[in-house]
Structure 1
């Protein structure tokens, strides 16, 4: 096997490990209705349980988002897999709401350790000149893994025994296999330093990145906010308003958003980074409009179209944002800058979702969703207008 093929093999294996970890973070999505029946909590509690994960991600990114630049990629990723395994164990033993909080917290820790480090690791392992393809592998592994989680859990919950246990047992086995793969892969950080040298990072950016970061981060925030609503409250909307109580269907609808994101990321290679961000913003706006129609007229078709169109827009915008930000970053600060972008993205996947949960009490899910859509539409329209006036100074 020649050097380039070996490098691509290791790059793809690292992407697979990334996908396995991220699948665990969305595994509970189609199961929240079952947990509500078991423990008797409200829709607001669902959004808080969901958001605990995102806050854990943000905390790790701020405290140790640059750790893999210092202590090495593999040790950080192995720690992340350990947290993913512990999360699965919490869900397997869940006999109260506290276990769900603990499981989501550990899941967030695993995602926080993986997002910046695994993205940088995949890019490190690619052959020279393979940066654009490696960026796609990393972002596709991230979004593809997030999509596989609800699909796997939904199918197992609907058609296999032990719906609240089997999905997590399967994921635990996948995590064990991923750890074995990771131990075989090489370390890419040459100047390794002890853990004591890692310092919490503030959300500061190198001067070279600041011009591209604002619009890139705004588009990422809106795209992840859309995903947050799909993964936290869409199963409840499907069940309560559309009488869709099939867990596999609920998981598939959520998965479509993430899989469409991967398709959108793939399209960036053709349309280019400069155009992908404004096009992604336009598609996100269309996805939000379709979601508004779905809420207003209670149509499953519009929910599916919203997942596909909005997911495609998220993929276009997010891969464009990641490529632009990574390309403008100094090599020695790449993981830290990527982590900062993910801090903004995960703020989008948590804060608006809690807002929807709070508003769902007085306004209902439909009214809360429409308020969310209006706010996100204003943000993404502003980002698109800025990008049309000042295109990013990068090429794909």
Structure 2
């Protein structure tokens, strides 16, 4: 069976279908990232934990992801994508087994931690591998494939979990059996990919991801918009089911999973819609969508409106999708192949750190003062961050902007 060829840094490029196939492992791992979302209310009922504990379990995912980003980017650039991706897929499978057999909050926390590690490695090495496969002639296509695979996988996970948990026995087991099958196929794809070995290098293996001077503006712009966007979607994923159940009267797990799916479907669709726009336009649009999402979230809670909450979630997805795609596009145009994974890791560290801290803070604040007040405070902080991000883009985007 022929391998899937890629030689980054040369004129050789592969077909469009091969670029999309290379993105399959990213999608498969990200299906797991949010699959537990509609199941949290089930585990809450069985194990009896609070909103603060729920967001702490969710934050374990971010901790694992950030920890992986401190290693995976450097490791991938030095020894190659495949030695990082294959263990990441295996860790995701182990996490599936833990989720399916979880009988305590501690097991859920460990499963989320392992999921975060797998996702962090995939964000760094997997997305860089898609760029490697695309070659120099398909950088923008590769950025689109990698970014859309990430958000589409993140959306399919909760949708499948909601559907399977409501329609089949063992609501907290079936989705993870299905996910193991998806991950096995992803493992096979990674094995077939003919990715280059890393050139090695010097310096510490564990470090805060560093970016060469020519790529720092690109990473800054990505973080400025991606961070508020993914923080908004992280809130919907962690506390969204509780808000739907307790405040908006929508406790069905298919509704919770479907809402997360629609949110990430918006994140996916918007990337295709804006793929030929200028970078500055994409990033400003992402910041505006996130700010508007937070305004709509507050309105939804004040009016107890499920429809407005759904609109807020979709806008949050659009904000994340545009920020992520804009950042990846800027990085692929500004950073050399031998530092690409580390630059991707740097953008994700900047995005996921507030996505861990702010929803976690909102969860414990909600325990103290109520979900409505906690969510409103969260919305104000994230909305202000989106406005600051837009100001940064207006000042700095011209240095890396790319026309159609």
TM bucket normalised to smaller: over 0.9
> Residue in 1 aligned with 2:157?
149
Q: Of the candidates 81, 84, 90, which is equivalent to residue 82 of structure 1? A: 90
**Any unmatched runs of 5+ in structure 2?**
6-11
Cα distance, 1:197 vs. partner? 8.0
Cα distance, 1:64 vs. partner? 2.9
Q: Of the candidates 5, 19, 32, which is equivalent to residue 11 of structure 1? A: 19
Q: Of the candidates 328, 339, 349, which is equivalent to residue 345 of structure 2? A: 339
Matches of 1:180 and 1:314, distance apart in 2 = 30
TM-superposition CA deviations, 1:192-238 (whole Å, max 9, x none) = x49x9871122432211223333321211101100110110000100
TM-score, scaled relative to structure 1 = 0.95
> Residue in 1 aligned with 2:319?
313
Q: Of the candidates 220, 234, 239, which is equivalent to residue 226 of structure 2? A: 220
Matched position secondary structure for 2:237:
helix
Cα distance, 1:367 vs. partner? 0.7
Cα distance, 1:167 vs. partner? 0.7
Q: Of the candidates 199, 213, 234, which is equivalent to residue 207 of structure 1? A: 213
Q: Which stretch shifts more, 312-321 or 356-365?
A: 312-321
> Residue in 2 aligned with 1:239?
245
Cα distance, 1:319 vs. partner? 0.8
Alpha-carbon spacing, 1:198–1:117, altered in 2? closer, same or farther (3 Å): farther
TM-score, scaled relative to structure 2 = 0.93
Contact 2:217 2:396 in 1 (8 A): no
Contact 1:7 1:127 in 2 (8 A): no
Matches within 5 A, 1:279-318: 279-318=285-324
Alpha-carbon spacing, 1:204–1:5, altered in 2? closer, same or farther (3 Å): closer
Cα distance, 1:163 vs. partner? 0.3
Cα distance, 1:19 vs. partner? 0.4
> Residue in 1 aligned with 2:378?
372
Cα distance, 1:187 vs. partner? 1.8
Cα distance, 1:313 vs. partner? 2.3
> Residue in 2 aligned with 1:41?
49
Contact 1:209 1:329 in 2 (8 A): yes
Matches within 5 A, 1:1-396: 7-189=15-197, 191=199, 193=200, 199-393=205-399, 394-396=401-403
Contact 1:23 1:146 in 2 (8 A): yes
Report the number of matched residues: 394
**Any unmatched runs of 5+ in structure 1?**
none
